[in-house]
Chain A
């Protein structure tokens, strides 16, 4: 099997071939490294690559397999990690100049899990600075290009992870999703991305944007690959007080088993019979025509398979974006206060500590970061707190209520993921409000803490991919993978991204 074929295999296929001895982890890892070296000049999905470490891990896994050790199915399958995730000994910048050269002394809890099972880490992927953005144009390390059209954005903030997976630079990647940073890039790159239930994946070691919204999750090219990866990274963690919702993954509750079941019911003619699918009344407008058409076609296909389509009313969704842009900047203004030049990262000197801090923050934070710090600082100020942060928290409760009422009637909710296909570089960079609208369909899940997944729904405007989003109640991640896999099974497979040579 040549390298071109290897890199086009899914994580599950790679896992089976490595387990079966048909491929070694080293072969697979080298194939992806070769691909990265080949396409990175065009895509620029990575801030740093860690090929030596990846090869070392691959060799260790191959040795263990030779010795007959029992290994995890994903052992030896390479992965890319968003640069917002802290990695011991590997520069972690969160896309910011502020952290240029910072080598963390510890691993994020999810990285510990990835290392424990022996997945070679290929490198750290590009992102909007401190995960603030929907285009990856706000990275201090240059833009990442969409493999479908190199003049277009790969989504954001996790554009690097999505582009790497779409460009066959990695079979799997880790993203983080505060308002859609996994799902929106997945939609515009024709890949799969999932935000787990809040608390399912430990946040220990994620450079925090908005603590009550942040959640790490998988990026892949198939639903079952994301399910496999979430099974690896989810689980309660002593280091994260908010991780208490999750439970250990067992054979019975694994997302992988659920996805297998979904693939089965999606391929059978009457497998989806009786499943109740919610379509949100408030999410019928504001989408590009073809993006919405692909979504409608999915809904019609579901109906043909025997699913019951029910319109659900979520009256408070209209306030979601407003609430989000109060809560997220408020928490971010506090979370980012620690970047002051005192202890790590970059420093710009001054005559006093106050001056040094101000100089450092002034020089090292990008415009979007400063904008959100200002917004958040204002929203938390005495006299404004109740009107802004306080009200936003109330909206949050109302959105949870909307979801609760909807899920009393339906098994899952489907929406288009992003309002448009990938837009061109520079198109929205000077219009923050237009940029923020990208997350209109993904934000409610973060505010409510429920899981959400985006998978391709087909090609829309300009022949570029669009996504469909599946939402389920909190702690039903397995159901999300089941329904997503069922939809994947009944949807035509996308062609390869057309922006890159083979």
Chain B
């Protein structure tokens, strides 16, 4: 049965939304959290090359007698994330056991930090499209291990309903995770869904920048659960929340938050109470459905993991890790916007297209900022840009774009030719822009004699233009330029043509 929904504007008028987000990020360590089994999150291509239940040791399979040993790299990544999120790094943190039975859990308890997490009390500033900034407070970021995956066979969409049997793949069991929990986010009003999505995106950018995760949402490297509640507008109260799971893209986070605001609004409008529960987001139908009831009193019988010693992190270690932190995305954005002189709208497009890093790289390789921006924002290069962002080999590289842009700057080719060169490279006709230009004879016509001949020919056809130009009407040069370009097959340097026209007209 479809949920009753209130109009979004109406819901926001009547109710104040409060949300909180739990983000799980898979750390790209070489091995798992507690054993030397290879970590599928180290390289997203690894998973495709591996059979189910092969990335295992007695520890990750939870065999009798197996004991955990903490991954040092995972701890360093936790510190990195904590510092990037402005958290305090606890001197002492403790792993606990979260006890519950589930087939994808090899030990039927999850080893996770509980009351003493490694990172506490942080914040992150989230900038929306129009430049408005919201601060999201972070309560904690803790280390834990991932579970395996259940695959339900025989039902629709791999769901458990209607399945006739299930298979479990434990390759993911023991993958190191950091769970980042926000404090409740108030006072974002109707922008709550946008802030929620932008927050996760901000985290994702940070994870990438500091190199702790492959951070691909679609691969499950970053997963978000959205908690949301409504309270009567202006009441300052907190309503009953729901937790929406399975929201695996930025747009889905925004849509799921919007959906819950509309759905809960309709529930409250009807005089009923919101039922505290876990809900599942369905990408295909753009709605959520009721999952299992979730009570705050779920009893996981936490107790300190006796197989691990408490984790002590020295202040020296924190400083050591801090020194390895690169410039964070927000700071980089502000700096490059200034350095490159991009207009606010240009910058927003670059950010939305996730093109800033590739532009920076291309500029470093010799391109002009505007040149690099123009090319990488070109639709023809979208695929290459994405591949580069994901660490794969792109069809067109920043080196090639930089080389091409240099040819433009040197006046050897113009934009129109550059586009032809680009097409040739995409078609696989060559890698080196200069060589393509030479091979195809695409270089702009620099021979003044040939240009002057073409200009004189054009003047002969349009004598009035010549007198107009000589009389100071520069606009009359347009048609002449067009005729010259046509005569030279588009390979003339427009700037030089204009100069020569002015000279010739004055003669």
Interface residues of A (CB under 8 A from B): 85-86, 92, 94, 99, 102, 104-106, 108, 203-208, 210-212, 238-242, 244, 330-331, 333-334, 337-340, 342-344, 353-354, 357, 377, 380-382, 385, 389
25 pairs from A and B in contact (CB 8 Å cutoff): A85-B65, A92-B64, A99-B64, A104-B64, A208-B65, A211-B307, A239-B67, A240-B67, A240-B69, A240-B307, A330-B303, A333-B99, A334-B303, A337-B108, A338-B62, A338-B64, A338-B106, A340-B101, A340-B108, A343-B63, A344-B64, A380-B99, A380-B302, A382-B299, A385-B302
Contacts of B308 in A (CB 8 A): 241
User: Would A238 and B69 be within 8 Å (CB), given that A338-B64, A343-B61 are in contact?
Assistant: yes
**CB within 8 Å of A: which B294-308 residues:** 297, 299, 301-303, 306-308
Contact A94 B64 (CB under 8 A): yes
B342 within 8 A of A: no
Question: Provided the pairs A104-B63, A331-B306, A342-B103 are in contact, do residues A377 and B301 lie with their beta carbons within 8 angstroms?
Answer: yes
Is B258 interfacial (CB-CB < 8 Å)?
A: no
A106 and B63 within 8 A (CB): yes
Bound-state CA distance A357–B97 (Å) is: 20
Contact A334 to B64, CB < 8 A, known contacts A211-B307, A241-B309, A385-B303: no
Alpha-carbon distance between A333 and B101 when the two chains are bound, in angstroms:
12
**Residue numbers in A under 8 Å from B69 (CB-CB):** 238-241
Chain A residues near B168 (CB-CB < 8 A): 342
B309's partner among A203, A244, A330 (CB-CB below 8 A) is A244
Contacts of A338 in B (CB 8 A): 62, 64, 106-108
Say whether, besides A86-B65, A104-B63, A331-B306, A353 and B107 are in contact (CB < 8 Å): no
**Residues of B with C-beta under 8 A to A85:** 65
Q: Is the CB of B109 closer than 8 A to any CB of chain A?
A: yes
- Chain B residues near A380: list those with CB within 8 A: 99, 301-303
A241, B70: Cβ atoms closer than 8 Å: yes
Docked pose: A50 CA to B299 CA in angstroms: 45
The one of A105, A212, A241, A334 that contacts B97, using a Cβ cutoff of 8 Å: A334
- Identify the closest chain B residue to A96 (Cβ): B64
Cα–Cα distance between A385 and B308 once the two chains are bound (Å): 20
Instruction: Give Cα distance in the complex from A212 to B166, angstroms.
Output: 36
- B66 is an interface residue with CB less than 8 A from chain A: yes
A337→B303 contact, CB < 8 A: no
Within B112-141, the residues touching A (CB, 8 Å) are none
Q: Is B68 an interface residue (CB 8 A)?
A: yes
State the B residues within 8 Å of A (CB).
58, 61-70, 97, 99, 101, 103, 106-109, 166, 168, 297, 299, 301-303, 306-309
A108 to chain B, nearest CB (A): 6
Residue of B nearest to A130 (CB): B64
For the complex, give the distance between the alpha carbons of A343 and B68 in Å: 18
Bound complex: CA A211 to CA B96 (Å)? 13
C-alpha gap A370/B6 in the complex (Å)? 52
Contact A382–B297 (Cβ < 8 Å): yes
| Residues in chain A near residue B68, CB distance under 8 A | 241
Chain B hits for A104, CB < 8 A: 63-65
**A contact residues around B63 at 8 Å (CB):** 86, 104-106, 343-344
Please report the C-alpha to C-alpha distance between residue A241 and residue B68 in the assembled complex, in whole angstroms.
Answer: 7
In the assembled complex, which residues on chain B have CB atoms less than 8 Å from the CB atom of A357? 101, 103
Minimum Cβ distance to chain B for residue A274 (Å): 38
Complex: how many Å from CA A241 to CA B301? Answer: 23
Distance in Å from the Cβ of A178 to the closest Cβ of chain B? 12
Output the nearest chain B residue to A380 by Cβ-Cβ distance: B301
Known: A102-B64, A241-B67, A338-B62. 7 other contacts (CB 8 A): A203-B65, A208-B307, A244-B309, A330-B303, A342-B103, A380-B99, A382-B301
- The answer to whether B301 touches A334, judged by C-beta atoms less than 8 angstroms apart, is yes
CB-CB nearest 5 A-B residue pairs: A337-B108, A211-B306, A380-B301, A212-B306, A205-B65
Q: Are A353 and B103 CB-contacts (below 8 A) given A206-B65, A207-B64, A239-B67?
A: yes
Measured between alpha carbons, how far is A140 from B302 in the docked complex, in Å? 31
A203 touches B67 (CB 8 A): yes
Residues of chain A lying within 8 A (CB to CB) of residue B297: 382
Chain A residues contacting B108 (CB-CB under 8 Å) are: 337-338, 340
Complex CA gap A353/B150 in Å reads 11
Q: How far is the CB of A354 from chain B (nearest CB, A)?
A: 7
In the assembled complex, the Cα of A211 lies from the Cα of B63 at a distance in Å of: 15
Which residues of A lie under 8 Å from residue B303 when comparing CB positions? 330-331, 334, 380, 385, 389
Alpha-carbon distance between A385 and B101 when the two chains are bound, in angstroms: 20
Inside 8 A of B65's CB, which chain A residues have their CB?
85-86, 104, 108, 203-208
Whether B306 lies near A204 (C-beta < 8 A) is no
Residues of chain B with a CB closer than 8 A to A377's CB: 301
Query: Considering only CB atoms, which chain A residue lies closest to B101 in the complex?
Result: A357
Whether B64 pairs with A242 at a CB distance below 8 angstroms is: no
Task: Point out the residue from A86, A353, A382 that lies within 8 Å of B64, measured CB to CB.
Answer: A86
Please measure, in the bound complex, the distance between the C-alpha atom of A321 and the C-alpha atom of B252, giving whole angstroms: 55
Q: Which residues of A contact B309 (CB under 8 A)?
A: 241-242, 244
Q: Which residues of A contact B107 (CB under 8 A)?
A: 337-338
Q: How far is the CB of A358 from chain B (nearest CB, A)?
A: 9
Q: List residues of chain B with CB within 8 A of the CB of A204.
A: 65-67
Q: Which residue of B lies closest to A104 (CB)?
A: B63
Task: Report the separation of the CA atoms of residues A207 and B62 in the bound assembly, to the nearest whole angstrom.
Answer: 11
Closest to B64 in A: A207
* A92, A244, A339, A340 interface centre (most CB from chain B within 10 Å): A340
**Complex contacts, A241 vs chain B, CB 8 Å:** 67-70, 307-309
Q: Is the CB of A343 within 8 A of B106?
A: yes
Q: How far is the CA of A92 from the CA of B103 in the complex (A)?
A: 23
Please indicate the chain A residues that have their CB under 8 angstroms from the CB of B67 in the complex: 203-204, 239-241
Q: How far is the CA of A104 from the CA of B65 in the complex (A)?
A: 10
User: Which residues of B have CB within 8 Å of A207?
Assistant: 64-65
- Complex CA distance for A242 and B305, rounded to whole angstroms: 11
Least CB separation from A341: chain B residue: B103
Instruction: Kindly report which residue of chain A lies nearest to residue B98, judged by CB atoms.
Output: A334
Distance between B26 CB and nearest chain A CB, rounded to angstroms: 23
* Bound form: Cα–Cα A381–B297 in Å: 11
Given known pairs A204-B67, A241-B69, A340-B101, the reply for A353 and B299 (CB within 8 Å) is no
Chain B residues with CB under 8 Å of A212's CB are 306
Residue from A99, A242, A334 within 8 A of B109 (CB atoms)? A334
A198–chain B nearest beta-carbon distance, Å? 11
Which chain B positions have C-beta within 8 A of A339?
Answer: 64
CB distance from B103 to the nearest CB of A (A): 5
**Cross-chain contact A381 with B306 (CB below 8 angstroms):** no
Q: Which of A99, A108, A206, A343 contacts B62 (CB 8 A)?
A: A343
CB-based contact A354/B101 at 8 Å = yes
Contacts of B101 on A, CB cut-off 8 Å? 337, 340, 354, 357
Cβ–Cβ < 8 Å partners of A105 in chain B = 58, 63
Residues in chain B near residue A344, CB distance under 8 A:
63-64
- Give Cα A343–Cα B104 distance, bound, in whole angstroms: 10
Chain B residues positioned under 8 Å from A108 (CB to CB): 65
Contacts of A92 in B (CB 8 A): 64
Residues of B within 8 A of A331 (CB): 303, 306
Least Cβ–Cβ distance between B102 and chain A, in angstroms? 8
Tell me the bound Cα distance from A40 to B302 in angstroms. Answer: 44
* Bound-state Cα–Cα, A239 to B59, Å: 10
Complex Cα spacing A340 to B301, Å: 18
Minimum distance in angstroms from A56 CB to a CB of chain B: 24
Q: How long is the Cα–Cα vector from A207 to B66 in the complex, in angstroms?
A: 8
CB-CB < 8 A to A343: which residues of B?
61-63, 106
Bound complex: CA A91 to CA B227 (Å): 48
In the complex, what distance in Å separates the CA atom of A342 from the CA atom of B64? 13
Output the least CB separation between A105 and chain B (Å): 7
Whether B99 and A334, one on each chain, are in contact in the complex, defined by CB atoms closer than 8 angstroms, is yes
CA distance A385 to B99 in the complex (A): 14
**A357, B303: Cα distance in complex, Å:** 23
Is there contact, CB below 8 Å, between A337 and B109?
yes
Determine how close the nearest CB of chain A comes to the CB of B35; give it in whole angstroms: 9
In this complex, what residue of A is CB-closest to B307?
A211
Name the distance in Å between B306's Cβ and chain A's nearest Cβ.
4
**Cα distance, A184 to B62, chains bound together (Å):** 31
Point out the residues of chain A lying under 8 angstroms from B302, CB to CB: 380, 385
